[in-house]
Amino acid sequence: MNKTAIIYSFNSRKTGKIAEKIKEAFGDDPFVLINAEELTEEIFTSFDQIIMGVPTWFDGELPNYWDEFVPALEDLDLKGKRIALYGLGDQKGYPENFLDGLGIMAGILEERGASLIGFTSAEGYEFESSRALRGDHFAGLAIDYENQGSMNKERVANWVSQLKKEFS
Ligand SMILES: Cc1cc2nc3c(=O)[nH]c(=O)nc-3n(C[C@H](O)[C@H](O)[C@H](O)COP(=O)(O)O)c2cc1C
């Protein structure tokens, strides 16, 4: 069975909690948890199935650790890689930039030829604009700890059921 990597910053508290929940929901699948702050191109390309945790920081930007990996990503050919993104954002606090980091990362990966999976409906969220939108779907799982934390468990469970089909 293919190993799947979940890559996120081990210092991003909420992003890390969601990574644990995803791992738990997948059950027996062989998962490797990788710290985005120690990521290299070799590690990244050694997995065919990748889940990336991407919170939005700085009013619509990627966190530093992802931003620092972008030049490496831009050099890679990601054709054939199946990648699922989950993003964290705050729709009430940052309604004009909700989940922009997820959208920025999705754009970079799409441009390199990756197959993004795990898109989810934007229904049930309230915001003004988001770079993460692709039509009426987000380019991954949208988590809002600040305003909809009680929905995390269900959202993760539904997403993992979806990924099990889309990864296979
Ligand atoms: C300074 C600051 C800027 C933020 N900017 C945005 C933003 O532009 N868009 C958004 O959706 N969320 C934004 N957020 C909310 C974070 O994405 C959210 O709190 C997330 O859960 C952080 O996850 P982490 O603690 O794992 O990094 C911001 C939070 C902070 C503290």
| Distance in Å, CA 102 to ligand 1 centroid | 11
The amino acid sitting at 136 is D
Q: Residue 156 corresponds to which tokens in the numbers above? A: 């993760």
Please report the atom of ligand 1 found closest to the CA of residue 130.
11
* Of the candidates 88, 22, 70, the residue with the CA atom closest to the CA atom of residue 49: 22
Residues 6+ apart with CB under 8 A from 24: none
- Residue 16, classified by CB atoms within 10 Å of its CB into exposed (0-12), middle (13-18) or buried (19+), is middle
CB 12 within 8 A of CB 46: no
Task: Map out the domains of the chain with their CATH numbers.
Answer: 4-167 (3.40.50.360)
Q: Residue 118 corresponds to which tokens in the numbers above? A: 């795990």
Ligand 1 pocket, residue 128 CB under 6 Å: no
Express each pLDDT in 11-46 by its tens digit: 999 999 999 999 999 987 788 999 999 999 999 999
| Distance in Å, CA 73 to ligand 1 centroid | 23
- Blockwise average pLDDT, block size 10, the chain, 168 residues: 86 97 88 95 94 97 97 94 97 98 98 97 98 98 98 98 92
| Distance in Å, CA 18 to ligand 1 centroid | 14
Q: Residue 85 corresponds to which tokens in the numbers above? A: 């993104």
- Residue 136, classified by CB atoms within 10 Å of its CB into exposed (0-12), middle (13-18) or buried (19+), is exposed
Please report the atom of ligand 1 found closest to the CA of residue 144.
21
Ligand 1 pocket, residue 164 CB under 6 Å: no
Give the pTM: 0.97
User: Which residue's CA is the closest to the ligand 1 atom numbered 18?
Assistant: 89
